[in-house]
Amino acid sequence: MKRTGIVGGVNGNMVAVNFEDRVMQNEVAYVIVGDESLKAEVIRIKGKRAEVQVFEDTQDISVGDTVEFTGELLSVELGPGLLGGVYDGLQNPLEELAEQHGFFLKRGAYLEALTDEQQWEFTPVVKVGDKVRAGEKVGTVPEKIFTHWIMAPFNLQGELEVVEIVDAGSYPVSKVVAKVKDAHDKVHDVGMRQFWPVKIPISAYAQKLKPVDPLVTKIRIVDTLVPVAIGGTFCTPGPFGAGKTVLQHLLSRHSEVDVVVVAACGERAGEVVELLEEFPELTDPRTGRSLMDRTIIICNTSSMPVAARESSVYTAVTLAEYYRQMGLNVLLLADSTSRWAQAMREMSGRLEEIPGEEAFPAYLETRIASFYERAGLVKLRDGSIGSVTIGGAVSPAGGNFEEPVTQATLKVVGAFHGLSWNRANSRRYPAIEPLESWSKYKSFVDADKVKKGTEILRKSNHVEQMMKVVGEEGMSIDEFIDYLKGEFLDAVYLQQNAFDKVDEATSADRQKFIFDVLEQIIDKPFSFDDKDVARKFFQDLRQRFITWNSTEFQGEEFKKLEEEIKNKVNG
């Protein structure tokens, strides 16, 4: 017998429902409008009245329409076949929706994320009588580039005894492949897929560890100056036009991780389309396969319903955690967490909650903190290590970092990559402000060398500020050389040409190698007759270095230019 209710009011995407029986907080409900069923989530209950946020346009709903409650929390499907997928915030596969409904997103059309059409080659790894715990594998299937683990349901407690296991063979995702018995002799099914509520972290692992190893992103300024650790968190706030999204795309392409989950949350649809067209064409150097094979895209772009935007980041992080459970390193990129926060604000406004700063709800900070806390390096129950690294773009109003979302985020992340208008306007990409950004993680480039680099950038910046007041003639030649050195380091190392086939990604080895050369230049006490000569020297050096950056590492051309540069510096 289905529990139902009756619509009592409509305000934007919030619908009030009068019910008789009982209602569970955060359960999924469907509002029935004609022949359409609109998915919704219960977000507040007052007496016999529940308020639900509808994940669709609410046009045509009228008072008296029926609402059906499902008794389930908002969940996602986890199983083989997710890699390479493109889903909306509720995990509806967009490609399949397009096939069935054409150009537009039809209201009330939902599809399963994983279909039974595909068969998976299952190999059991346990036998009847074996003991497993939640999250431990009972078998494997090959999925694109990995061996995908079929695991005991994450929600079970204690030790479980395998009482049934199927033979090796081809099965669809809906197949029950094993049965396990818990301590109370209750038997549970183990399917090829399982469902998990998105707002609850998956915690079927042995231990959470401290993230230490650097994650190689191949973006020089990030890896050297403001590194990210595997299993760590970072945020990228920046005004519009500073290149947040381009930077996130570069990270998603070049980062040395096993799986990338991209959550396009409330941003432009066009940017997602670029990923969709580009990724299948690009090859992942680590596997030799298409980049799409390691990517999952969750896309709830700005014109798609707001309530689903709020859940899209949770959907994304749940998928990331799922692959982490297989001992993989997963990178989750959320662009942009501000849109997610705004979705919370819109809903909070409709609920007429007392607003906090800039009308954001008072629980904004805890929500942001608990989202980033889902990142981490974990030791699984079989001893292998998996991780989720979270990078969130933040879009502060007016580019001013003193606003609630940026501030709440800075408190909980391990690295801050602040983008600035200043650098973007002078086309210094990536526009990460080197002196204001910070990271609590360690780089693979020697810390003392990095320190020299930041020192010279700081000095250079200082001289530049001074020159604005006293002019070039007011500075000594040595100070001026420091200024030129800093500018040089910026131009040839911190800036990176995303459109150059070689320069767009710099391996860890190459970064260390180049930085050694730069260290020599920074250390060397140059002497020049006058400032014009000094400037000319560094312009020339910069020229060669930029050409050097776009030659194949340790190739012939590379070595030739290396010689030239060293001769110039020492000659």
Range 280-299, binding other proteins (CB under 8 A): 299
DSSP string computed for 27-41: EEEEEEETTEEEEEE
Give the nearer residue to other proteins in terms of CB position, either 74 or 475: 475
Give the nearer residue to other proteins in terms of CB position, either 274 or 552: 274
The sign of the CA dihedral 435, 535, 504, 518 is negative
Picking from 175, 167, 165, the residue whose alpha carbon sits closest to that of residue 118 is 175
When asked if residue 543 is in the footprint of other proteins (CB under 8 A), the reply is yes
Residues of this chain, 413-432, that bind other proteins according to CB under 8 A: 421, 425-427
When asked if residue 363 is in the footprint of other proteins (CB under 8 A), the reply is no
Least distance between other proteins and beta carbon 465 (Å): 12
Query: For other proteins, which residue of 399, 503, 507, 517 counts as binding (CB under 8 A)?
Result: 399
Least distance between other proteins and beta carbon 395 (Å): 5
Distance CA 432, CA 247 (A): 9
What residue type is 146 in one-letter code? F
When asked if residue 385 is in the footprint of other proteins (CB under 8 A), the reply is no
Query: For other proteins, which residue of 20, 25, 26, 60 counts as binding (CB under 8 A)?
Result: 60
When asked if residue 97 is in the footprint of other proteins (CB under 8 A), the reply is yes
Query: For other proteins, which residue of 153, 172, 197, 349 counts as binding (CB under 8 A)?
Result: 349
Residues of this chain, 3-22, that bind other proteins according to CB under 8 A: 8-12, 16
Least distance between other proteins and beta carbon 345 (Å): 5
Residue 283 DSSP code: B
Give the nearer residue to other proteins in terms of CB position, either 440 or 544: 544
When asked if residue 301 is in the footprint of other proteins (CB under 8 A), the reply is yes
Choose one: 97-105, 113-121, 153-161, 226-234; the region binding other proteins (CB under 8 A). Answer: 97-105
Residues of this chain, 191-230, that bind other proteins according to CB under 8 A: none
Tracing tokens 């982490």 back to the chain, one arrives at 324
When asked if residue 525 is in the footprint of other proteins (CB under 8 A), the reply is no
Distance CA 88, CA 473 (A): 59
When asked if residue 435 is in the footprint of other proteins (CB under 8 A), the reply is no
- Cβ contact 298:339 at 8 Å: no
Element (DSSP H or E) covering residue 482: helix 477-489
Residue 167 DSSP code: P
Distance CA 483, CA 463 (A): 6
When asked if residue 101 is in the footprint of other proteins (CB under 8 A), the reply is yes
Distance CA 413, CA 372 (A): 7
What residue type is 287 in one-letter code? T
- Cβ contact 65:105 at 8 Å: no
- Phi/psi of residue 72, nearest 5 degrees: -115, 145
- Cβ contact 335:394 at 8 Å: no
When asked if residue 82 is in the footprint of other proteins (CB under 8 A), the reply is no
Least distance between other proteins and beta carbon 322 (Å): 23
When asked if residue 346 is in the footprint of other proteins (CB under 8 A), the reply is yes
Query: For other proteins, which residue of 532, 552, 557, 563 counts as binding (CB under 8 A)?
Result: 532
When asked if residue 358 is in the footprint of other proteins (CB under 8 A), the reply is yes
Give the nearer residue to other proteins in terms of CB position, either 1 or 469: 469
- Integer CA distances (angstroms), 94 to 23, 271, 428, in order: 31, 15, 36
Residue 114 DSSP code: S
When asked if residue 345 is in the footprint of other proteins (CB under 8 A), the reply is yes
